[in-house]
Amino acid sequence: MNVFKKIYARIYQFCFKLAIPFLPYKSPKIINLNELNEILKKEKINNLFIITDETISKLIDNILNQININYVIYDKVLPNPTIKNIEEARENYLDKNCDGILAIGGGSVIDSAKILGARIVKPHKSIKKMEGLLHILKKLPPLIAIPTTAGTGSEVTLAAVITDEKTNHKFPINDFCLIPKYTMFLPELTINLPKFLTATTGMDALTHAIEAYIGNSTTKKTKNMAIQATKLIVNNIKICYNEPTNIKARENMLYASHYAGIAFTISYVGYIHAIAHSLGGKYKIPHGLANAVILPIILEIYGKKIYKKLAILAREAGIAQKNTTDEIASKIFIDWIYKTNEVFNIPKYIKEIKNADIIEMANYANHEANPLYPVPKLYDKNELVKIYYIIRGQNE
Ligand SMILES: [Zn+2]
């Protein structure tokens, strides 16, 4: 990247960093199932709207038995939720006079709950008009989120993604008011998740923690969150994969995903995510899988620029000895990621990448990441093009 663009990007990122302490960011309160009725009462909820999907709705009897107020269940959320989906949920919500939302599911369900909440408080604003940043700016009905995958951290982020089924356009809605007010971790809901998804969603959480940590916009809090998340993931992800019913390991992964979510919501992600999004858009490569493959490759490309930070994570997670040099510790961590991917049968490269698509995807990643993401090293479009070839497993 040329020097003027670099200076511009760094100043831009620095201004965003200065703004961090003034942002109205509030993490959800972590509650347990025994407190649920108390919270419903405190929030003056009389008719609870439970939003979930068909697979999860079969597993929630334990939660339903606890609830001592009226509730309705909407379990039609799709893996890629659509505007029609949310509008249908909204009709149900209004029809039953609901006044609070309980979301139980993965990222799609929690995202849908956020957008539903936004539509309830903004009856005259279409979902399409909410695209982008800060178009809601209004307190949502009380929202309690129970994540059933450990990866996206959606229960703690200010983002929601939705697809316009008419145009196939997938777009993000970002607003501080979308952050759920409460969250709850019920690891027993995650034990049926297929092994490969357990692995890739967990690697997504690891990518959140690492990208936030090696970026330039960390705070004391986000550094700490990223370290905690990395420690938990390194020590639990393989256990979840090999012993899916290990509740303690499952619970640790839910916390890890949550902490990583806090870290990246405040301190951003980087090129790994920007590239993964482009591959998701072009070839529908699942987000966690794309991140898992790209993560060690980009960390290697960053090279010595990130040795120090990566070494801290490696030592904190216990995969490098305290007395190893930064370079060695950081290489041990990258190697750990490659080997863990191998255990999970995650490929080393993304072979689906076609030469003809690379420039378009590099453009997309460049627009997403530059100048916003406070990445450790800046790359322009041409440099990103080269990186796509490496991710594909071949030189240009
Ligand atoms: Zn992610």
Give the model confidence (pLDDT) of 63-101 as tens digits.
999 999 999 999 999 988 999 999 999 999 999 999 999
Ligand 1 centroid vs 78 CA: distance in angstroms?
19
Ligand 1 centroid vs 279 CA: distance in angstroms?
13
**Cα maximum dimension of the chain:** 63
Ligand 1 centroid vs 396 CA: distance in angstroms?
27
Ligand 1 centroid vs 157 CA: distance in angstroms?
11
The predicted pLDDT at position 41 comes to 97
Ligand 1 centroid vs 205 CA: distance in angstroms?
7
Ligand 1 centroid vs 45 CA: distance in angstroms?
32
Ligand 1 centroid vs 147 CA: distance in angstroms?
15
Ligand 1 centroid vs 124 CA: distance in angstroms?
31
Ligand 1 centroid vs 25 CA: distance in angstroms?
19
Ligand 1 centroid vs 91 CA: distance in angstroms?
31
Ligand 1 centroid vs 217 CA: distance in angstroms?
17
Ligand 1 centroid vs 108 CA: distance in angstroms?
13
The predicted pLDDT at position 396 comes to 55
Amino acid at 35: E
The predicted pLDDT at position 273 comes to 95
Ligand 1 centroid vs 118 CA: distance in angstroms?
23
The CATH fold assigned to 32-190 is Rossmann fold (3.40.50)
Ligand 1 centroid vs 158 CA: distance in angstroms?
13
Ligand 1 centroid vs 323 CA: distance in angstroms?
32
| Domain spans of the chain, in order of start | 3-21+192-392, 32-190
Partners of 71 in the β-ladder? 48
Ligand 1 centroid vs 20 CA: distance in angstroms?
21
- Say if residues 180 and 143 touch (Cβ distance below 8 Å): yes
Ligand 1 centroid vs 395 CA: distance in angstroms?
27
**CATH code, residues 3-21+192-392:** 1.20.1090.10
The predicted pLDDT at position 391 comes to 98
Distance CA 342, CA 304 (A): 25
Assigned token pair, 269: 């992600």
Ligand 1 centroid vs 15 CA: distance in angstroms?
24
pTM assigned to the model: 0.95
Q: Residues 21, 181, 133, 211: is their CA dihedral positive or negative?
A: positive
Ligand 1 centroid vs 383 CA: distance in angstroms?
22
Strand 182-184, strand 143-147: pairing: parallel
Q: For residue 60, give every residue at least 6 positions away whose Cβ sits within 8 Å of its Cβ, in sequence order, or none.
A: 50, 52, 104, 189
The predicted pLDDT at position 395 comes to 65
Ligand 1 centroid vs 167 CA: distance in angstroms?
24
Ligand 1 centroid vs 81 CA: distance in angstroms?
17
Distance CA 112, CA 51 (A): 8
- Say if residues 104 and 66 touch (Cβ distance below 8 Å): no
The predicted pLDDT at position 333 comes to 98
Half-sphere exposure (Cβ direction) of 276: Cα atoms closer than 13 Å = 23
The predicted pLDDT at position 132 comes to 87
Residue numbers in the chain where pLDDT is lower than 50: none
How far out from the chain centre does Cα 84 lie? 23
Ligand 1 centroid vs 92 CA: distance in angstroms?
31
Ligand 1 centroid vs 98 CA: distance in angstroms?
32
For the stretch 149-181, pLDDT in tens is 999 999 999 999 998 989 878 888 999 999 999
Ligand 1 centroid vs 345 CA: distance in angstroms?
19
* Three-state helix/strand/coil letters over the chain: CCHHHHHHHHHHHHHHHHHHHHCCCCCCEEECHHHHHHHHHHCCCCEEEEECCHHHHCCCHHHHHHCCCEEEEECCCCCCCEHHHHHHHHHHHHHCCCCEEEEEECHHHHHHHHHHHHHHHCCCCCCHHHCEECCCCCCCCCEEEEECCCCCCHHHCCEEEEEECCCCEEEEEECHHHCCCEEECCHHHHCCCCHHHHHHHHHHHHHHHHHHHHCCCCCHHHHHHHHHHHHHHHHHHHHHHHCCCCHHHHHHHHHHHHHHHHHHHHHCCCHHHHHHHHHHHHHCCCHHHHHHHHHHHHHHHHHHHHHHHHHHHHHHHCCCCCCCCHHHHHHHHHHHHHHHHHHCCCCCCCCCCCHHHHHHHHHHHHHHHCCCCCCCCCCCHHHHHHHHHHHHCCCC
Ligand 1 centroid vs 292 CA: distance in angstroms?
10
